[in-house]
Amino acid sequence: GESVGLHLPTLSVQEGDNSIINCAYSNSASDYFIWYKQESGKGPQFIIDIRSNMDKRQGQRVTVLLNKTVKHLSLQIAATQPGDSAVYFCAENSGGATNKLIFGTGTLLAVQP
């Protein structure tokens, strides 16, 4: 079946350290992936996306890596700040006629001051 899963349900890091959040996906035909950040009481906020013809994409303090061989996705956050504390979801675009997103259960990132 379709599934997108996360390896670490909770990640605790010190302020200023780099964070790495991992995600595994099961549909080898998926060609578009998105990372979202969700703060308490808010909707998911788009962070960065990547297409399957790329293996790395960088944004402001964030980098997404895609390894299609092992169907693995990661989000790296540089110099993690308290404001980065949130739940992070990877999402897989199912393509086809809908482009619905398939989400994993999320990773809670806790930044310690």
Identify the DSSP state of 106: -
Contact mark string toward another protein, 2..31, x via CB under 8 A: --x--------------------------x
Rounded Cα–Cα distance for residues 25 and 32 (Å):
11
User: Helix, strand or coil for residue 8?
Assistant: coil
Cβ neighbours for 107, distance < 8 A, ≥ 6 positions apart: 6, 8, 9, 10, 11, 21, 22, 87, 88, 89
Alpha-helix runs per DSSP H in 8-69: none
**Closer residue to another protein in complex, CB, 17/100:** 100
Footprint on residues 31-90 left by another protein (CB under 8 A): 31-32, 34, 36, 41-46, 49, 51, 89
Among the listed residues 7, 58, 100, 112, the single contact to another protein using CB under 8 A: 100
Among the listed residues 8, 105, 110, 112, the single contact to another protein using CB under 8 A: 105
Where on the chain is the footprint of another protein (CB under 8 A)? 4, 31-32, 34, 36, 41-46, 49, 51, 89, 91, 93, 95, 97-106
